[in-house]
Amino acid sequence: MREAISAPYAPQAIGPYSPAIRAGNLLFLSGQIPIDPATSNLVAGDISAQTEQVMRNIASLLKAAGAGFEHVVRTTVYLADMGDFGAMNAVYGRFVVDPPPARATVQVARLPRDARVEIDVIAVLK
């Protein structure tokens, strides 16, 4: 059984996908870019500001599914520039809990709306 999850304080899908899907006790969040859900615009600012918005969007989707960062077991971080790794990592680290989830971080050629960061998440629900 699959259930689509969305949240009023997270961006709505801009294509044929769900912001998150619950399948049994697993929750899969689509990649989140730094979209301000109030304006549907990319947030202005550096990688820190963009990562902050991404993590807030993730938090909103987790909350809508009855979860939090303590349920996250895997993330993938996509960066437009690996030179932003340190600043992204500092913001990311404020949100995740111990033990931190498994993670891969890769540099990509381009992200939607020319964002500097995108993060997807897998969580285990109780």
pLDDT in tens, 22-50: 999 999 999 999 999 999 999 989 999 99
Other CB atoms within 10 Å distance of the CB of residue 68: 13
Distance (Å) of CA 66 to CA 4, 8, 57, 75, 85: 13, 14, 14, 18, 30
pLDDT in tens, 57-80: 999 999 999 999 999 999 999 999
89-93 average pLDDT score: 98
Query: What pLDDT score was predicted for residue 113?
Result: 95
Other CB atoms within 10 Å distance of the CB of residue 4: 11
Q: Is the pLDDT of residue 14 over 90?
A: no
Query: Residue 126: which pLDDT band, with cuts at 50, 70 and 90?
Result: confident
pTM over 0.85: yes
Domains by residue range for the chain, with CATH? 2-124 (3.30.1330.40)
Q: Which residues pair with 104 in a beta bridge?
A: 76
Q: Is the pLDDT of residue 56 over 90?
A: yes
pLDDT in tens, 110-119: 999 999 999 9
